[in-house]
Structure 1
Amino acid sequence: MRNNIFIVMGVSGSGKSTIGAKLAAALSLDFLDGDDFHPPENIAKMAAGIPLDDADRMGWLKKLNSKAIELKNTGAVFACSSLKESYRQMLCNDVNVNFVYLKGTYQEVFDRLSLRKDHFMPPALLKSQFDALEEPKNAITVSLLESPENIIIQIMQKINKKSFGLVGLGVMGKSLARNLARNNFSLSLYNRYVQGSEEKIAEKTIAEYPEFVNASGFEDLEAFVNDLETPRKIFLMIKAGKETDEFIDKIVPFMDKGDVLIDGGNSHFADTKRRIDYLQAKGIFFVGTGVSGGEKGALEGPSIMPSGPKEALDLVTPFLMKIAAKDKDHNPCCALIGPDGSGHFIKMVHNGVEYAEMQLLAEVYAYFRYVLKQNPEEISEVFHTWNQGKLKSYLLEITAKLLTKKEGDTYIIDQILDKAGNKGTGNWTTVTATEMGIPATMITAALFARYISTIKHNYLLELPSDSSEYKKLSISEIANAYEVARMVNHQQGFELIRTASETYNWELNLSEIARIWTNGCIIRSGLMEEISTIFEIKKDLFAAESFVDIIKSQKVDLKAFCMGSLSADLPIPTFTNALDFLNGIRNHTQTANIIQAQRDFFGAHTYQRRNDPSGKSYHTIWE
């Protein structure tokens, strides 16, 4: 903490230079007065009684930020009237800053400033500073009425408290903690005590990694909470479900009003809404946060999807933005998703889309392996080539890599049991899509493919193999089929998100959701970057000509891939569901009219007529 950058802020006359110098001495750091970085024209303007505007301050703020970056490894204390949140964001660019806010009323500061004859800014300009002032939400706040000595004591007490807490040091929790520490946040780490299996986990983790120089480890929950500065911000990386509820009940007695719990697990969005309401009644904030990227992403920068009360999001956003991955424009892959459990909802859909993306690649692999008779090394080369172009994705990249891994002369992929696990989010996506009436058929097919893999070994059913031949597709035709199927998958996933946004009045920004999925997360891809751009002007992917043109021209290859795979007795549920979806939304064929007639026949459920646009219901006496 003491090697960080500290900025003592307040309006002119608040005593920030005095306090800054004393704080620097207490921390054995260099002190720099922000006023010394003003260009002569700014000083002259203020001396003439003319308030500085944003344009005046831009160059000054950039100079301060450059100096802070230069000193970030050794630490320093600045005195700076960083009145607006936008100013503070500029000062935090590429450096972790701890703000100390000297708070006082207009009259208190005016009385002080009136006594200072040598200050270049006249008291008349004080009102302009108060008008511009946006009080910081994440700062050490002290009253300027205290004596300088007492102010320093209060600041030092708060500095010695940790800025962020994390609970649960499993694979993801440990990686996120290291990410936070690498971004110079002081941490309190807690892991449960289980005799014989989980003992002193937090202390051992801190000892293992040098980045935890400003971290403390705990097994005692009350001591952990008391080690944190208020309002406390505590990230939960524990098992979703009843374990989360049980932990909340354990930690709440030690928390204060205004503290924030952040659930980074794969919780169900309805549970998140319930927990927000439950804790709000106690004055405690709860934020549901989707986190995607796996172990490596958590360490180097994940995609982060927080949702909940705005007051809580304002408190935790600086931390989450800092550790998130960066998109192609260097913006954090983290966005305030919306209210309630919307963050966990879109993480759920993310995982559902991920299920289908993985299954598509598995089915492509099967075609190359069993129809084209290629070995894993040859398939890897194809995937690697695809990943250099428009099909680029993280999943394609890692699949190309894993196919080449060997133990001796044997490919590891050939040693892995044909049995895929799941942790429930694919099931939740399927159930939710069903409840909302959205045909997320590819996600459902991918989920059921995993279920089939777990029971297939129970059957002794020997089925005859059809030896009929079908035209073998070229690599480019397979690529075309794969591209179209992925488009259908993403269309179905985002349609579920859009429907949920309308159903729950979340007002989700689909373009922003796609943007934060362009890096850090498992389904990041070139396609996702294109989708983010499309949603800036369209509400539906199939309303974009670029999408429709590709589907129209390449659907023939999707059909050929399905026919060729089925002729070889390959299970390709996601590809066939992509094709079925496209065939189902065509207006050239009709099957639902038969279903509705059947329903009317046996249940008098009525039907609508094609020649009556009013939507009137009809019933026929069928016999």
Structure 2
Amino acid sequence: MSSKPVYVVFGVSGSGKSTVGKALSEKLEIPFYDADDFHPRSNVEKMANGMALNDEDREPWLQNLSKNIEQWSKDGGGVLACSALKVVYRKKLESSLYGGVEWIFLEGSYDLIFNRLTSREAHFFPKELLDSQFETLETWERGITIGIDQGISNIINEIELKLKMQKSQIGVVGLGVMGKSLAKNMLSKKFSVSVYNRHVEGKEVDIAKKFATNNSYVPKGFDDMSLFVNSLQTPKVILLMVNAGKAVDLVIEELLPLLEKGDCIIDGGNSHFKDTIRREKQLTDKGISFIGAGVSGGEEGALLGPSIMPGGTEEGYQNCKEFLEAIAAKDNSGNACCNYIGPNGSGHFVKMIHNGIEYAEMQLIAEIYHMLRYYIGKTPDEISEIFNVWRKQQKDSYLLEITANILLKKEGDQYLIDKVLDKAGQKGTGGWSTVAALELGTPLSTISEAVMARCLSAKKDERVEASKVYQITSSNTINDDLFLEELEKAFYFGSIVNHAIGFDVLKQASSDYNWNLNFSEVARVWTKGCIIRSDLMEKIVTLFGNRNDKPLLMFSEIVQILNNDLDALVNVVSKSLKMKCPLPILSASTNYFLNYTSAQMSANIIQAQRDYFGAHTYQRNDKAFGEHFHTDWKKL
């Protein structure tokens, strides 16, 4: 049996705790317990003699009740009538079942309760102690308050109504950095939130409880999944913020028996889109909506407003759009940077390509910094200023902004960047983008090169050894002003090509998977909150708004920019290579663009080679399209 809440009806003696508790237990069809029955004999005798209990008297009583509350929950729930006058008493009662106790305070005037007590017979609590009870009673921000100046049936009806209204609007599973930030974001938007985190002794202890007690908006915190689910309004909406992969499947497996048709699960992690396609089908077949929502913006974005990319059924999105659009960043028109992306795994695919573009944009800025620092001889302060100048020339981006800031950070009189190990980490989404592009048969030059650059950076020890063996030196023969002007153009050129490659992959995926993606809307969602927000992204929104199916590199405004700046890009790459300075992204951008704009590529030789050694056949440019030929190339 799954855990169920225990309802604690509390208040001063004479407020009707036992009467209300018994009536509520009958209504809910769960057992009733009276806390007075759990007092040790010494406490009963003390109160019967007109003496008030002190905290030392109550301690074993409270501990015993706490253990029983935990067991009652496991047995299917219960109703407990208990005075619980102080907050500290209530915390001790729920200590073993945090979040699983529903508090019901019975409120009445002193005169009303005094009159009730005077009419009682054969009760061990004398009315003379009422004054001390009111003096001891402390307010409690949790639970519901019920006025007792009404009939019992009205009281029970009011309890049921208020308990239903008190249930949380949305639940969050997983309180890592992103989960906590998104939960805080929801709470700041005045949503009622329940949070769940697993309990692992020595590793993850009371995570949800601590989060709940440390937030002013008072979410409900659980480490019991069934109590967590029971705390949510129907239909239930649950956001998963757990590690991608097997952990998502395990949480879904635990949730399924607790959910009903019409409920909605949102996976807000970086799950692989094919896993999302599988999960969406599995849950849809059971009548439960599954939304794979890419979330970008890091810890700060999650807290203040991320970019959100939800995919799944449109009906499922309707179940959760209120929450997702409320917490999302807002674009320049005040609209949420969140919208329905498309069916099944499309949201997570779009997020994957977002991360791929991000990889290449980061590498682009990093390699330009590296060249300016170690081959041109600029200081971090000077490079920061160069980046800030570019930002004012309609080339601003979040990544350029933070890099300019990073370069100014010092420890004492030394730049902190010089203490950072040149060994880049990655979580896999860039590599996923590369694999997906290969499966779709579409180029991913800049993004794949960025992934490879990170992989090569990981070979730190080998690189250090190779530098000693080869002892490569460079010569600085660059005209400062002219080169910086060309470098600015090359930077923007590379960024445009990188974005074009990313959107081309989205276009191919949209076609192959029948997603019908709106690229202008995807770009709009990426204009605020996410890591790749930029002036360029704002421009892309407008361009695709005019023609959704047109390649980004074929818009006249882009053609004009790249035509004008191609020579600058080529000069930067060639001069840098002459200095023996690696520029992976700018080199990849150059090669991609020159091939993209070539009516005749070198692939005819490749086709002839394939036919020579493998009889793979080839097509001819002087014959009908689709007709294939094979030649015995050995015969001249």
Same fold (TM over 0.5): yes
Alignment of 1:352-371 (within 5 A): 352-371=356-375
Equivalent in the alignment of 1:26? none
1:229, 1:327 → 2: CA distance?
30
Task: Please report how far the alpha carbon of residue 587 of structure 1 lies from its aligned counterpart in structure 2 after TM superposition.
Answer: 2.6
Equivalent in the alignment of 1:540? 551
Q: Is the Cα contact below 8 Å between 2:375 and 2:476 reproduced in 1?
A: no
Alignment of 1:463-612 (within 5 A): 463-467=470-474, 470-472=477-479, 473-538=482-547, 539-587=550-598, 589-612=600-623
How many residues are matched? 475
Identify unmatched segments of 5+ residues in structure 1: 1-146
Alignment of 1:69-468 (within 5 A): 155-210=161-216, 212-213=217-218, 215-459=219-463, 460-461=465-466, 462-467=469-474
2:531, 2:556 → 1: CA distance?
27
Q: Is the Cα contact below 8 Å between 1:466 and 1:567 reproduced in 2?
A: no
Q: Is the Cα contact below 8 Å between 2:265 and 2:290 reproduced in 1?
A: yes
Identify unmatched segments of 5+ residues in structure 2: 1-152
2:519, 2:155 → 1: CA distance?
52
Partner-residue secondary structure (3-state), 1:387: helix
**1:302-352 deviation digits (Å, cap 9, x = unpaired):** 000111122211010011000000001110000100110100000000000
Structure 2 CA distance for partners of 1:226 and 1:482, relative to 1, 3 Å:
same
Task: Please report how far the alpha carbon of residue 466 of structure 1 lies from its aligned counterpart in structure 2 after TM superposition.
Answer: 4.9
Q: Is the Cα contact below 8 Å between 2:376 and 2:476 reproduced in 1?
A: no
**1:475-522 deviation digits (Å, cap 9, x = unpaired):** 221110000001110010000001000001011100000000000000
Q: Which amino acid aligns with 2:568?
A: D
Equivalent in the alignment of 1:141? none
Q: Which amino acid aligns with 1:184?
A: K
Partner-residue secondary structure (3-state), 1:465: coil
Partner-residue secondary structure (3-state), 1:289: strand
1:150, 1:262 → 2: CA distance?
35
1:199, 1:262 → 2: CA distance?
25
Q: Is the Cα contact below 8 Å between 1:307 and 1:341 reproduced in 2?
A: yes
Task: Please report how far the alpha carbon of residue 605 of structure 1 lies from its aligned counterpart in structure 2 after TM superposition.
Answer: 1.5
Q: Which amino acid aligns with 2:272?
A: H
Partner-residue secondary structure (3-state), 2:520: helix
TM-score in terms of structure 2 length? 0.73
1:609, 1:181 → 2: CA distance?
64
Q: Is the Cα contact below 8 Å between 2:474 and 2:580 reproduced in 1?
A: no
1:435, 1:290 → 2: CA distance?
21
Equivalent in the alignment of 2:97? none
Q: Is the Cα contact below 8 Å between 2:171 and 2:193 reproduced in 1?
A: yes
Task: Please report how far the alpha carbon of residue 441 of structure 1 lies from its aligned counterpart in structure 2 after TM superposition.
Answer: 0.6
Worse overlay, 443-452 or 302-311: 302-311
Partner-residue secondary structure (3-state), 2:400: helix
Q: Which amino acid aligns with 1:287?
A: I
Structure 2 CA distance for partners of 1:176 and 1:414, relative to 1, 3 Å:
same
Task: Please report how far the alpha carbon of residue 151 of structure 1 lies from its aligned counterpart in structure 2 after TM superposition.
Answer: 8.1
Q: Which amino acid aligns with 1:533?
A: T
Partner-residue secondary structure (3-state), 1:612: coil
Structure 2 CA distance for partners of 1:152 and 1:379, relative to 1, 3 Å:
same
Task: Please report how far the alpha carbon of residue 615 of structure 1 lies from its aligned counterpart in structure 2 after TM superposition.
Answer: 3.2
1:176, 1:467 → 2: CA distance?
48
Q: Is the Cα contact below 8 Å between 1:394 and 1:525 reproduced in 2?
A: yes
2:214, 2:205 → 1: CA distance?
15
**1:57-105 deviation digits (Å, cap 9, x = unpaired):** xxxxxxxxxxxxxxxxxxxxxxxxxxxxxxxxxxxxxxxxxxxxxxxxx
1:467, 1:304 → 2: CA distance?
45
2:292, 2:161 → 1: CA distance?
31
1:468, 1:183 → 2: CA distance?
57
Equivalent in the alignment of 2:79? none
1:195, 1:588 → 2: CA distance?
64
1:500, 1:467 → 2: CA distance?
43
Task: Please report how far the alpha carbon of residue 614 of structure 1 lies from its aligned counterpart in structure 2 after TM superposition.
Answer: 3.0
Q: Which amino acid aligns with 1:299?
A: L
2:315, 2:284 → 1: CA distance?
12
Task: Please report how far the alpha carbon of residue 290 of structure 1 lies from its aligned counterpart in structure 2 after TM superposition.
Answer: 0.3
Q: Is the Cα contact below 8 Å between 2:295 and 2:309 reproduced in 1?
A: yes
Worse overlay, 456-465 or 160-169: 456-465
2:157, 2:349 → 1: CA distance?
44
Task: Please report how far the alpha carbon of residue 258 of structure 1 lies from its aligned counterpart in structure 2 after TM superposition.
Answer: 1.3
2:581, 2:343 → 1: CA distance?
44
1:471, 1:162 → 2: CA distance?
63
Task: Please report how far the alpha carbon of residue 261 of structure 1 lies from its aligned counterpart in structure 2 after TM superposition.
Answer: 0.9
**1:212-266 deviation digits (Å, cap 9, x = unpaired):** 23x1100111100000011100000000001111111112111122111110000
Task: Please report how far the alpha carbon of residue 589 of structure 1 lies from its aligned counterpart in structure 2 after TM superposition.
Answer: 4.8
Partner-residue secondary structure (3-state), 2:392: coil
2:555, 2:595 → 1: CA distance?
19
Q: Which amino acid aligns with 1:523?
A: I
**1:334-371 deviation digits (Å, cap 9, x = unpaired):** 01001101000000000000000000001110121122
1:319, 1:335 → 2: CA distance?
12
Partner-residue secondary structure (3-state), 2:238: strand
Partner-residue secondary structure (3-state), 2:459: helix
1:182, 1:469 → 2: CA distance?
54
Task: Please report how far the alpha carbon of residue 588 of structure 1 lies from its aligned counterpart in structure 2 after TM superposition.
Answer: 5.6
Q: Which amino acid aligns with 1:243?
A: A
CA RMSD of aligned residues (A): 1.7
2:516, 2:532 → 1: CA distance?
23
Partner-residue secondary structure (3-state), 2:266: strand
Q: Is the Cα contact below 8 Å between 2:497 and 2:553 reproduced in 1?
A: no
TM-score in terms of structure 1 length? 0.74
Q: Is the Cα contact below 8 Å between 1:309 and 1:339 reproduced in 2?
A: yes
2:459, 2:620 → 1: CA distance?
45
Q: Is the Cα contact below 8 Å between 2:618 and 2:629 reproduced in 1?
A: yes
Partner-residue secondary structure (3-state), 1:506: coil
Equivalent in the alignment of 1:132? none
Task: Please report how far the alpha carbon of residue 384 of structure 1 lies from its aligned counterpart in structure 2 after TM superposition.
Answer: 1.4
Q: Which amino acid aligns with 2:537?
A: M
